[in-house]
Amino acid sequence: MNLPEDDQRTVFINRLTAERKERETRRKQEDFFTTLQAACRGYLARKLFSKAVRNEFDELLSSFTDLDKERELPECRSVLKVGFLFLRNSSCLRDIERYLKLCRYLIVSVSITNLQCSFPSLFLSKNYIQRSNNFILKLFINVCGLIGNLKLTKVADGKALSIFVLLMVTYSNCNSWALVRNNQKICLVLNSMCSKITCTVFLDPQNYSLLSSCLCKMVSDGRLLVPSPTLNGLFTLLFRAVKDVNFNASEFILFIKECLTCPALITHLSPASIDLLLTNDVFGLCLTALLNSNDIFAILTGNESLFLLANLTHLCAMNLERLIECLIDWTEVVGRLLSRCDDFILRNKDTCSHWHPIFGWYCQPVPHGQVLCSNEGALPLVIMQLKNLWSKPVIKCLFKDVLHSSTSTERTTVSKLSSDSQSDLTLSIQKLWKKLNSIRADTKLASQAQRLPELSIIVIVCQVYQRAMHTFSTLSSDITAGLCREDFLLPHLFTYIVSFSPADNGLTYVLNLLSSHSDNISHFAPLILFANCAATVISILDEDEMYEQEKPFTLEQLRTLAKFCNHFCFRVIWKSYMEINDAINSPLFSSLYQLCMLLYNRDCRRSFTSEIPKFWLAPYDFLSER
């Protein structure tokens, strides 16, 4: 049957179209299978090559299952060649044992002087120095990744970490290399090269975070999960990298954020590591860096702020002279850290809160689980660090000498120390007075409208302890006990308060200040701290201590104190300096009222005011002032 001409054309076109699509499909299939074949061949070739590299690697280094120095070492150039290929084709998780064997060889080889077998000899050859330098750099980077995957609760992983840290310590400084140990000029050049390697690797934020996270895991349980040399070696690496760039601001903030926020870190460091911190004035550098950084406090969690404060407190207790010099900066940093901790503290139980051994009710969970390790085991050590803040040496340093100088004739501008100040603190304190006076001058110009008295050292220090008792609610009794441990403190602190208006034991000064300003100003910190501590001490005194031994207050001082508290509480309400509802919630009024009632109850049991008739009654001249 003959089709019309148009239909024949349509059939012809459709047939050509189908043939063209079939050819195109066949071509795509051929391209696909060609690509797949190439990929498979490449994969198999790489697999065979990697297997060959691993076999050659095993032939060279399979015997390095420990750090025995008696075995025969392979030629260093062969290790460099095979090692480079191994690093490029290795899988970190699968080849960790081979990495350990390579690290053991490199560690052992530095102790021999045979040029053919000692790997450090490659750094002395102009033909191999660049290649060996790149090899160590690549190895360090891979080792950082391996360390990040280790679980320190496993004994095998803990041993692996020790080997990795020992390798990095060994090749970050050439002073222990037997081949160049006695050549200072070569050591100087090689140490410069090693410093560049460590800075390149360890100052990378990702690598630094991996290593510092491992450092935190070591101490987070309260007991070391690895040997002490491993901890100190890793800490030294992280610190030395920052030191080698002259404590650059951004790198030093990284050190503070990642290392000094490890719980109770300073407690676990060796004397050599602590000397490293003290020699380089890390305490002073930390204060400067923290005050110059606007972001560090905002990114710290509550626990990180706590751990940083504990480590700084531990450092300051080791260097009291430096603490005196940096006292103003130190109090400001402590205040900011305490404020950051307060952001996560709840005064009452909440559905989202849990009990924290230091903060009380806490709204940010203590990290735990697979991603972050729990820090609860380290909290007892953190508490021991914090106790340095109210320990006897620190209290004597902050109060005894400063308090004596603060009770001199000129109260508002403290310019000299008392004659019995410790000779080794004299220079430090003089530097502090100069800094304090300059700050006071700036404060005076900026706040003449308020006419507030100039802040003294006593006010600054007392405010720190007040904030600490508020933040560390579960430790407030320990802080009070520490402040009351020395009998000199409370009487001298009250003498300091009385000295502002001796005619009426300081009452006029306090009331005038309260009549013009809020009860929340810093100037009331010594009075509040004194009242809280005195109430604690007096409440536990038996009659023999209070009336016969007269410690810590004489009977005359008790009468003066009772009169001050009684008249203050009366006049604050009588003169309407505070409304009754406001007075109840005022730390100033409530602390003095509590002390007043305690003294009144003790006087009722056995009077120490019997010589003064109507001691507790309001005088007529007070009533006439209304």
Q: Name residue 308's amino acid.
A: L
User: What's residue 449's pLDDT?
Assistant: 33
Distances (CA, A) of 210 to 100, 204, 264: 19, 10, 19
How far apart, in whole angstroms, are the C-alpha atoms of residue 239 and residue 191?
16
User: What's residue 160's pLDDT?
Assistant: 94
**pTM for this predicted structure:** 0.84
76-89 helix and 129-148 helix, angle to the nearest 10 degrees: 50
How far apart, in whole angstroms, are the C-alpha atoms of residue 31 and residue 26?
9
- Smallest Cα–Cα separation from 105: which of 142, 67, 147? 67
User: What's residue 338's pLDDT?
Assistant: 92
How far apart, in whole angstroms, are the C-alpha atoms of residue 354 and residue 475?
17
Per-residue tokens: 126: 């102009």
User: What's residue 423's pLDDT?
Assistant: 46
H runs (alpha helix) in 71-150: 76-89, 96-109, 129-148
CB neighbours of 33 closer than 8 A, spacing ≥ 6?
none
CB neighbours of 485 closer than 8 A, spacing ≥ 6?
392, 395
How far apart, in whole angstroms, are the C-alpha atoms of residue 130 and residue 107?
20
Cis bond before residue 552 (omega within 30° of 0): yes
User: What's residue 495's pLDDT?
Assistant: 84
Sign of CA dihedral 282, 284, 288, 293: positive
How far apart, in whole angstroms, are the C-alpha atoms of residue 231 and residue 161?
10
How far apart, in whole angstroms, are the C-alpha atoms of residue 197 and residue 178?
20
Which DSSP category does 613 fall into? T
User: What's residue 505's pLDDT?
Assistant: 86
User: What's residue 385's pLDDT?
Assistant: 94
Chunked into runs of 10 residues, the chain (626 residues) has average pLDDT values of 67 85 90 91 88 90 86 90 90 86 93 89 91 94 91 91 95 89 89 92 93 92 89 95 91 94 94 94 94 88 93 93 88 91 78 79 60 73 93 82 48 37 48 50 39 79 91 90 82 85 88 88 91 91 88 90 92 87 88 94 89 77 53
Show me where the domains of the chain are located: 59-201+224-245, 248-366+373-405, 487-625
Which DSSP category does 398 fall into? I
Q: Do residues 157 and 148 lie in contact, with contact meaning Cβ atoms separated by under 8 Å?
A: no
CB neighbours of 196 closer than 8 A, spacing ≥ 6?
none
Which DSSP category does 517 fall into? S
